[in-house]
Amino acid sequence: MSNKSCYKANMGPILILLLLAAPPVAPSPAPVPRVTKGTITTEFVPDVPAPLAEKLERYLNVRRADLVGWDHAGSGLFITTRFGNVNELHRVDRPLGMRRQLTFVAEGIDGFAPSPDPARPGGLVVMDTGGSENAQLLWISKNGGEMTLLTDGTSRNGAPVWSKDGKRVAYHSTRRNSKDFDIYTFDAAEPQKAHTMIYEASGQWSPLDWSPAGDAVLVLHEISETKTELHVLTPGKGLTAQIDPKPGSDAAINTAVFGPGGTSVFYISDAGGEYRGLWQRDLKSGKDTLLSGDVKWDFESLVASPDRKLLAVTVNEHGWSRLELYDVGGKKFRADPKLPPAIINGLDFSRDGKRLALSIEGGRNVGDIHVIELSNGKIERWTESEVGGLDPVKFHEVARTEYPTFDGKKIPAFVMKPSGSGPFPVVVSIHGGPEAQARPYFSSFYEYIVSELGYAVIIPNVRGSTGYGRTYTLLDNGEKREDSVKDIGALFDWIATQPDLDKSKVAVYGGSYGGFMVLATGAMYPDKVSAIVDVVGISNFVTFLESTKEYRRDLRRVEYGDERIPAMRTFLQKISPTENVAKIRAPLFVVQGANDPRVPVTEAEQMVRSVRKTGKEVWYMVASDEGHGFQKKGNRDAFVAATVMFLQKALSGGK
């Protein structure tokens, strides 16, 4: 037999031995089923049963009204509200009058700045496309109709501010390099002609107010949540004054307005201390004076009457708003207007300065516009938003509480509970930011969870939140990031001490930075979490910082740490959820907007892939026409219904 034949003869047994010794070949993973309906694509998300869709319908049709401002004559109000798929601009001419829709757009309105000039009635619409946040400025007349694009159509533009006479507009734009927010102006009589850059910026700058004479603009440079700079910008001369109440300190300044004659500036700042108060700068002497005294809560919003003689400010107390009026000439605060507990989200004086309009919401109030007659304090309601046929009297109240955490601090939180004795499953909702504050806003989603599912909702303000002093806001920065996650661990311990709460059925829900928090919580406390809902969340700090839009990157590095520094990069990688997926046991639902400029869709996709590799259950939903969160009603309806099904499956066995 030839050597060749011998080789062939001996191959049979050898191949058998090799096959027996070789490890089994892993089967190819089954393809992930993807379902696209309209703008929504899902993976493993079941269809919504008809009974659930019907029950949800009333809650999904609750709507709110938000104040934009008075018209040029001060006789009517511009508001935004939703009557279709998105928020649109409307006009209301009298208390509880008809809302006349002025815009009819697919994307919704991000903002509106009414013109103060009677010869040019109308205003500037701020609007982006598909959630990209590349907002543009468009002109629209007071009667609505076709809008005229005023900016370049591609860069990010916003913060329009009218001069007192309505002849000029200042705004910020990234058109120069897609990163820095330069300050521009244009002539309102010829808004489509040349827009002039009056300040070439480095970082994020915004105009706040024109001087009464129209010869200067207050501009704010945002460096971080706890460090900002306020300047007077004089066109043609540049920055001519910096308002810094405590030179050398990292003071935060919220907002500012010029005083009468433009000789002073009123502003809100913590001046390097704990809380933000009302200050005055005399521009001639350079002297700064604290007007609000030693208040243990933050002043937050500030507007001036047309003659600059009266200021309206709000104070944030435990998440609720208190309205105060400051008499500039008398140098004193007037008696507080008596308002019910509420959150105030808009303030605007009428053109004659005799009335103050404001948006009120929170608790059982879904959000409506009221007007105060300043001469007698009379409050009149101008809008009454629809509540989907629900009875507002039956809406659940929000209770405030505190619980102890690992280092002895007290963590503030809001709680909603069903009627009865429980024990109730719990949904812990964690806010984003992290430099933000959970407040007792009305939420039809929370109301459904409590009323229809019978779950409790707990909304904590873990360390890093605003509203509780500067020190508290800084407690989670950099390498202290996981301390905020430990605050959620302490909440689980507190839940276990409450006889009407079920510690064995706790879901965590959060968006943006709150999305990181729920993922990190699932990894750090796997035996205490029954379900995780991550909405536009950060899954890896390194990839997030490298891929978030360039104009946001430096601001985020101040908060999270700079990933370009090797030691910090190692730390950020270590605490990132994608590096800890093996620890997560609870089922996961990931929700994302495809056009998100803040937390790109890649953050969601890499988290979904990583968790699925461990064999865990993951639902995934992405909207092709959304950005950082779902704004369009159809998309949000689909998201809410899927979230309800996910929570029911995890906390109630699908019932």
Domains of the chain (ranges; CATH) run 118-202 (no CATH), 394-652 (3.40.50.1820)
**pLDDT number for residue 563:** 87
58-70 residue pLDDT tens:
999 999 999 999 9
Sign of CA dihedral 171, 174, 176, 180: positive
Nearest to 533 by CA among 620, 454, 632: 620
| Sheet of strand 217-224: strand arrangement | 204-210, 217-224, 227-234, 238-243
**pLDDT number for residue 340:** 83
Decide the pairing of beta strands 288-290 and 136-141: unpaired
Distance separating alpha carbons of residues 290 and 564, to the nearest angstrom: 40
Number of H helices, E strands in the chain: 11, 38
Which token pair is 302? 């500030």
Which distant-in-sequence residues (6+ apart) come within 8 Å of 455 by Cβ? 418, 424, 425, 426, 427, 449, 647, 651
Distance separating alpha carbons of residues 426 and 357, to the nearest angstrom: 38
Distances 640 to 509, 521, 533, 644 between C-alpha atoms, Å: 12, 22, 11, 6
**pLDDT number for residue 279:** 96
* pLDDT mean values, one per 10 residues, the chain (655 residues): 37 35 49 90 95 94 93 89 89 94 89 91 90 90 88 94 95 94 94 91 95 96 87 94 84 94 95 90 94 91 96 95 94 87 92 94 91 94 92 91 96 96 95 90 95 97 94 89 96 98 97 95 97 96 88 80 89 94 96 92 95 95 93 94 97 81
Helices 513-524, 481-496: axis angle to 10 degrees equals 60
Nearest to 92 by CA among 64, 61, 65: 65
Distance separating alpha carbons of residues 133 and 157, to the nearest angstrom: 9
pTM of the model: 0.90
Which token pair is 76? 């009517």
**pLDDT number for residue 6:** 38
Which token pair is 231? 């300047």
Distance separating alpha carbons of residues 230 and 280, to the nearest angstrom: 13
User: How many residues in the chain?
Assistant: 655
Residue 627 φ then ψ, to 5°? -115, -115
Nearest to 243 by CA among 208, 201, 204: 208
Distance separating alpha carbons of residues 298 and 473, to the nearest angstrom: 12
Residue 100 φ then ψ, to 5°? -100, 115
Decide the pairing of beta strands 288-290 and 298-304: unpaired
The conformational region for residue 332 under phi > 0 = left, psi -120 to 50 = alpha, else beta, is beta
Distance separating alpha carbons of residues 291 and 311, to the nearest angstrom: 12
Distance separating alpha carbons of residues 485 and 88, to the nearest angstrom: 38
